[in-house]
Amino acid sequence: MKSDKRVLLGMSGGTDSSVAAMRLQEAGYEVTGVTFRFYEAGDEIGYLEDARALALKLGMKHIAYDARELFRSRIIRYFVEEYLRGRTPVPCTVCNNELKWALLAKIADEKGIYWISTGHYVRKVLSGGKYYIAPAADKDKDQTFFLWGLKQDILRRMLLPMGDITKNEARSYAAERGFGQVAAKKDSIGVCFCPLDYRSFLKREVPETLLPGKGRFVDEKGDFLGWHEGYPFYTVGQRRGLGIHLNKAVFVKETRVETNEVVLAPLSSLYKQEMWLGEWNLVDNSRVLGADEVIVKIRYRKQANHCKVSLTVEGLLHVRLLEPLESIAPGQAAAFYDESGLLLGGGIIL
């Protein structure tokens, strides 16, 4: 079945997946495009029309798959509930690891197609008999951080045509083939369903009676500093938008759900040298748990740090950092890499 030259490609209507379609075709694959309807503001379906138009122009089959109820029940509900628990969610990671690639595999199976693909800027390599996600040629667009939860049943089927080119090269590639509109598309920014301000999104999604209302800003000793709008609207490491003016720079160190308090502290108080991860996934346990040290990143585009990882009796990953990191936020993801950049796995910070 692996010799099958058919591939199911997730198409968003943007530059990356559009160029991925062209590159797969030029590599000899019969491409079927699928556009997931995950979330739509009002009646905005321009992305779907763009994907359909491109598929038609390329002579591809195209499927529109309505996953809005699934997306709402799994991703939006998770997003809201994490903030109400005083945690900072990672919806793009959860969507990739639990929804997007799983749906691609499901639909491909129904169509009798082996290969699945997207426009992600990552590569895939085989090492020690297992497949790993590896960094893309374009370091500024590298998306490995979001894919640490994928397992071998998905990894072995992935085709990643954007991993060896840069975004500028992708735009040129489209323009040279007469797809100027594809080349000129703007990059998407932020979370797809609330790209600008998650606070206003929460206020729309959560009934006012379920929001905690006004609460207390306190310092590390518990002394009152001022009033805030409610703990869900603040995240660990936040400095801007606090709505409080003190004679020194302060950051959110902790949110306390039980008392609706937000602890403010100087940046120096936000550094930690250890963390624990749940819901973890490792490609090969021995390459992380058996290693003297690995590299960890706790946020997309955040500087990497070396660490030592061990398994606790409770089944959690204990991460001991060689150097302290600031703003380690519960709910966020941590991803592990080796020195060559191979993605070894990751988990959710507790």
Per residue in 267-313, pLDDT (tens digit) is 999 999 999 999 999 999 999 998 999 999 998 777 789 999 999 99
CA distance linking residue 299 with residue 335, whole number of Å: 8
Per residue in 28-69, pLDDT tens?
Answer: 999 999 999 999 877 678 899 999 999 999 999 999 999 999
- What tokens appear for 244 in the block? 């409080």
pLDDT of residue 238: 97
pLDDT 10s digits, 99-111: 999 999 999 999 9
Question: CA 338: distance to chain centroid?
Answer: 20
Please indicate if the annotation marks 149 as binding a ligand: no
- What is the mean pLDDT of the segment spanning 143-150? 97
pLDDT > 60? residue 114: yes
How far is the C-alpha of 14 from the C-alpha of 167, rounded, in Å? Answer: 12
Is 158 known to sit in a ligand binding site? no
Share of the chain above pLDDT 90, in %: 89
Task: Give pLDDT, residue 298.
Answer: 94
pLDDT reported for residue 115: 98
* pLDDT at res. 322: 97
Q: What is the DSSP string of 277-291?
A: EEEEEES-GGGTTTS
Residues 6+ apart with CB under 8 A from 239: 249, 250, 251, 252
What CATH topology corresponds to 212-265?
SH3 type barrels. (2.30.30)
Give the per-residue pLDDT at 3.
58
Average pLDDT over the chain, rounded to an integer: 95
Report in angstroms the alpha-carbon separations of 46 from 9, 14, 41, 50: 19, 10, 11, 6
CATH number of 6-183: 3.40.50.620
pLDDT tens for each residue of 205-216: 999 999 999 999
Spans of all domains in the chain: 6-183, 212-265, 270-349
Whether the per-residue pLDDT at 2 is higher than 70: the answer is: no
Active-site residue numbers? Answer: 95, 192
Asked whether 97 and 154 are in contact (CB, 8 A), the reply is no
pLDDT at 303: 75
> HSE-up of 275 (CA within 13 Å, CB side)?
31
pLDDT of residue 300: 78
The response to whether 50 counts as a known ligand-binding position is no
pLDDT band at 194; cut points 50, 70, 90: confident
Given this model, what pLDDT does residue 20 score?
98
Rounded Cα distance, 112 and 63, in Å:
15
Q: Is the pLDDT of residue 19 over 90?
A: yes
Q: Is 36 labelled a binding residue?
A: yes
- The secondary structure of residue 208, as a DSSP letter, is G
Mean pLDDT of 322-328: 96
The answer to whether residue 90 scores a pLDDT higher than 70 is yes
Question: Is residue 13 a known part of a binding site?
Answer: yes
Please state which architecture CATH assigns to domain 270-349: Beta Barrel (2.40)
Mean pLDDT of the 70-97 span:
97
In the numeric block, which tokens belong to residue 115?
A: 């290969």
Query: Which stretches within 59-117 are classed as H helix?
Result: 68-71, 77-84, 91-95, 101-111
Q: Over 60: is that where the pLDDT of 1 sits?
A: no
Q: Considering only 21-35, 176-190, 323-337, which range has the smallest mean pLDDT?
A: 176-190
Is the Cβ–Cβ distance between 300 and 343 less than 8 Å?
no
Residue 113's pLDDT is 98
The pLDDT confidence band at residue 347, using thresholds 50, 70 and 90, is very high
- Condensed to tens digits (0 to 9), the pLDDT of residues 228-253 reads 999 999 999 999 999 998 999 999 99
11 annotated as a binding-site residue: yes
- Per-residue pLDDT, 190: 77
Average pLDDT (245-262) is 97
Q: Longest C-alpha distance within the chain, in Å?
A: 67
Q: What percent of the chain has pLDDT over 70?
A: 99
* 119 labeled binding residue: yes
12 among annotated binding-site residues = yes
Specify the DSSP class assigned to residue 321. Answer: E
**C-alpha distance from residue 173 to each of 21, 26, 147, 169 (Å):** 12, 12, 26, 6
